Structure 1
Amino acid sequence: MRRLQLLLDVLGAGEDHPTVRELVDLLGGTPVTTDERLVDEPAHVSRRLSFASGGEVVLHDGAVVAVLLHVRPTPFARTGIDLRHWIGLAGRRATLDGLAKAVDARPRFGGRYAYFERDGGFVRCIFDGRWREPGNLVELAVTLDQPGRACQPDDDTCSVCGDLPVRGAASDGLVVDATIAALQRRRDDGLLTETYSPAPLADLRLLHRSGLMERVESQLECSACRRISALTLHREGPATFVHVMYDEARRRPMEAIPPVEQWGDASRIAAAEEAMRYLDHRPGSWFLARDPDGDLYLESRYVRSSMVDGSCLVRLDAAEVEGYETGGAEYLDDLARRIDGSRPWSQDSPFGRRNLHLDRGAADLVAEFTTAVRDHRWVAEQRQAAHRRVRSAED
């Protein structure tokens, strides 16, 4: 357990601190590879040291933010690290229950990770398969930031979004047009999606040039690391770019976008006239829109737990359209309750199987729906409500 404590003790320490030097010696002394890059804008320096033992150390602006222990071979290590020397367990044979006993903490879950909280840090695990079965452990990491709630430092080198934003030759700030173009290419290739973006990427420059908004932002989710890239253009001041997780992205400030007639060019205004249209909503519950072909789409809020909610977007079938035409908003209130009660985040739910938010092939349609309802403040209300819940839980 002494070495586990050492992993926790190095978090936040500088590279020249004695505990960090001790850790580096235990991992092999000299890194096999070093990756150093600027991350986000305003930028911080991310430095990743990879050792032949299978260990890695990640530093932000010279301070340790994560230590990774790979238990399987990697491009820089022929064999995985032996966890018996670190937590007393055989590496890839370790299960989540075994890890819980070894670190003396109860497992928790955040995003794609299982993790344990210990002494101001977090012990994070990645499994390839069932975590109850031996042989599936891939990686153990000790991190400064809570998994699922904050971006993980090792995602700085993500193959999809790790090289964003695009910077000038002098690395003195991001190049807006080049960054937008890079985001668009990856979105078109299906690597990034902008389902919940406050402003569509295609509208970003037009809205900024209009001067009608203090800040205008596009958000795109990465298919690999699940972080959200947020590019923000400010009326006064340089552009900014950050990687954030879903909850933080939803809480970022968002202004209502003015009617397209006030900022769009002729082609954008014409496109808006042929796009999906908002019809009605119930605050905090549902939104209804109609596409140019006459199909109706309902986005209904659901509650998964006291800390997690979401929304289910479905195209109304013939019976539901008839119900709406007969019963109006009251029928949609009842339909929203049925959707909520069906556990729509699951494919076991009849509404979950129809949920367009879970259909990667429907990203463009979902973006059209989001655009149709964005002037109505439900999204902002949900962000504020989520923020209040998080603050209440923290208090």
Structure 2
Amino acid sequence: MKGDNFMRSSYFKKILVLTLTLLLCISVFTACSAKDKQIVLSNNISQQAKAEENEISEKVKEGNKYLSEGKYEQARTIYENAISIDKGNKNTYLEIKDSYIEAGRLDDAFYIIKLAIENKVDTDSMKEQLEAIKKKFQVVNLTGSVNQNEYFKLPEAAAFKINNVDTKVDINWNISSIDTSNPGTYTFEGTAQEYERPIKFVLTVKKAVSNQPGNIAAQNAGSNSKTGVSEQNITDKVKDYIINGQGNKPEAGKLQWSKNFLNSVDIVSLYKKYKAAGGNGQDVESFAKYMTMNAPIPGNWKEMFEKDLYNTYGQKVTRLEYLGGDMYQAYIDNNGSEVPYVAVSSRTGYFHG
């Protein structure tokens, strides 16, 4: 009896030992298997990242080759392909930027860094890179002259070199109207749209030659709508002149107004002030210039402009940035990115871009 109990106890002990041994083996195997899987996965990710780095490097080298050969469009296409492989790779943008700067292509370098900012890659650092490139841009100098008390409008566009190619570029000025009542030399600043080049315009206002009495009648006879003007008809006459009476003038010399803004002006009140200041009440053209420079800015000009822009181009304004004087830069949304669209005068409502 005792022998049977002893045999049973020994048997159960063997079973227990075998079970524990089996469980230990399974545990070790499972742990090793998971670790092996982790190592394999880690190796795959590392290999994929290395492959992407190599592909980017090859693309950049190919782009550099096109750049050195003067094939700028092909170079940009290849560079953009390199960026698309990993849009978050900061070093790719910087390497391409350096290649462009070395080749003297500042505007292309500027474009690449703007692309990095649009893709939200280390934006603070990239904005510093952008400012560093802008400082390398040469100021575009423009000049002009006008006689004292004559109307003058800064050019809306000018042709100058972008990447060594003559390019016509629209300009945003920090002022919309110019006072030519005092002779002298005046400097105005602006920015080339899209390219952000600094622009300076030096205007010389020439002193007016005193009119002899005999010439005044002849001079008045040559002006537009200078007879029969009164407070009763000045509103119709000045509106007609601004909208229909400037046909023979070059575009840069015309007084430009939004019709909605023009209709909001208290023209009679301005006309009285104009005459009180010594203005010729029979000279509609002269009064139109005065009004363009001195009309009050409407309190709801933003709403009026936004309505005009939407009715004209179907675009909604996302932001207005003050440029100086009565000028503002209007931004719109373009595929998720905020971009400058037109410059607008808060006084006249006229916009261009």
Q: TM-score range by the shorter chain?
A: under 0.3
Higher strand share: 1
The one of the two structures with greater contact order (alpha-carbon pairs below 8 A, sep at least 6) is 2
TM-score by length of 1: 0.25
Report the structure, 1 or 2, having the larger helix content. 2
